Structure 1
């Protein structure tokens, strides 16, 4: 469930931090989390950094703001499906210093943020998935904008933007309320469920609980938690299976461009690398 921005200044060092943060969410709610930055071999200088005991509470995702060169960390701070008004977003410097623990604070007057998960930036707007709504904030000031709430949504999860500023986001669903994958055009006010070229709608139990999403010029990539699958939706609307089904409980996914993809697995607490040739390590 998350969006990342490669590479240094903060680039490849952060790619695994966000994925590793996702893997930590199977711990007890409220337990202090650890985020570890580890570069892929050959992707940059050998460097590691662990952020521990800094106040994070159920950190769900991380996003690099390329313009400000700062990392944003979404903290659920409680139950991932509970509207408790105490979620927050932290700002972290490239060197690992938490400059503002609660830069956006759901407990602050005028701010609504319950259990933030996926994030994406388009121009000067930060989009954040939050249970059944997409919250909007100013990228620099954190000022809240008008929110977008979806009737019937139960567990909005990951969020990704295209170069044109369109959004894709996942609803992982809950028991009795199967999930779906949505598309929101930049110029639209109402999102639509993604429909394949053959008319199949990406929704329902057969979708397997969509979690991580990532979009680039090659199309949309979806990782599912329930069915442990990874698939690609081409720009022509064709679904191509990349992996699974499995018991891996897939979570975040991010493109490494010509180097392939990274994705995380709750099932075995591992970050995997799908190389360009298809090998998985």
Structure 2
């Protein structure tokens, strides 16, 4: 462990490193994950674990996924996607998706399009040119949670099949796959059920780090689909950040109210 932050954390869900500003941003659900209570917020934190601004952006409900593009931090919040100017901390756009069931993670591609997973409805939305549309939907998506856009691929972490909308249990674990951003064709990285998959980050060597929220594990998955469990915690290991050059894995633990940085290298 390199450092840990716990003071002031309130159900931290997603840690994201914005390379342009050099800061980490952390979403705090601060209560139930689907409750519109207005007390969710985003923190700004240094790479050494110093909290720069505990309440950097406030007035959210249950914010989860974070990702930036061209100076805008995008935030998913139950049924809303908010864009915030990183330099000023001011809101620049807001998209309410009335039919959304439970927006979770989001990703941005090289063109600035934003993709948002709707875990309850097994759907992925896209925001392009400030317009919201359904990018993909169906049981074959396995109720996606984690998203990561890399080149012309949208990597997805499935939560699982046989999804129960009341308690989020599944009959089968989710798999790790990607959708071609042009054809939307689905390709599975892991053929077998893998986990209740949450965060996804590249490892810098062709593989990926993922979290399993229910099992409390951090997984390494290589391009060939081999899965290695590298860390084990209690339930609540959420949406991680990873800095390949520093080999620094930064993990929010939603149940323990901690944000912890670990030195981690991909397995050989």
TM-score range, shorter chain: 0.7 to 0.9
Is 1:190 aligned to residue 190 of structure 2? no
How far the C-alpha of 1:257 sits from its partner, in A, is: 3.8
1:124-153 deviation digits (Å, cap 9, x = unpaired): 221100010101211122112231011201
Size of the aligned set, in residue pairs, is 215
**Kept in 1: contact 2:84–2:91 (CA 8 A):** yes
**Kept in 2: contact 1:253–1:264 (CA 8 A):** yes
The list of structure 1 runs, each at least 4 consecutive aligned residues, that deviate by more than 6 angstroms after superposition, is: none
Higher relative contact order (CA 8 A, sep 6+): 2
Is 1:154 aligned to residue 101 of structure 2? yes
**Kept in 1: contact 2:190–2:226 (CA 8 A):** no
| Root mean square deviation of aligned Cα | 1.8
**TM-score between the two structures when normalised by the length of structure 1:** 0.72
Aligned partner of 1:142 in structure 2 is: 89
Aligned partner of 2:36 in structure 1 is: 83
Relative to its length, the structure with more strand (as a share) is 2
Is 1:50 aligned to residue 24 of structure 2? no
**Kept in 2: contact 1:258–1:276 (CA 8 A):** no
Q: Residue 160 of structure 2: which of 204, 217, 226 is its match?
A: 226
User: Aligned partners of 2:214 and 2:68: how far apart in 1?
Assistant: 29
**Kept in 1: contact 2:115–2:126 (CA 8 A):** yes
Is 1:104 aligned to residue 57 of structure 2? yes
User: Aligned partners of 1:139 and 1:63: how far apart in 2?
Assistant: 13
**TM-score between the two structures when normalised by the length of structure 2:** 0.75
Aligned CA distance change for structure 1 residues 207 and 118 (closer, same or farther; 3 Å): same
Relative to its length, the structure with more helix (as a share) is 1
How far the C-alpha of 1:250 sits from its partner, in A, is: 1.1
How far the C-alpha of 1:205 sits from its partner, in A, is: 4.1
Q: Residue 180 of structure 1: which of 111, 123, 128 is its match?
A: 123
SS in 1 for 2:92: coil
Aligned CA distance change for structure 1 residues 242 and 190 (closer, same or farther; 3 Å): same
Aligned partner of 1:239 in structure 2 is: 186
Q: Which runs of 5+ in 1 are unaligned?
A: 1-37, 39-47, 107-112, 195-201
Aligned partner of 1:273 in structure 2 is: 220
User: Aligned partners of 1:135 and 1:245: how far apart in 2?
Assistant: 35
How far the C-alpha of 1:251 sits from its partner, in A, is: 1.0
Q: Which runs of 5+ in 2 are unaligned?
A: 162-173, 229-268
Aligned partner of 2:248 in structure 1 is: none
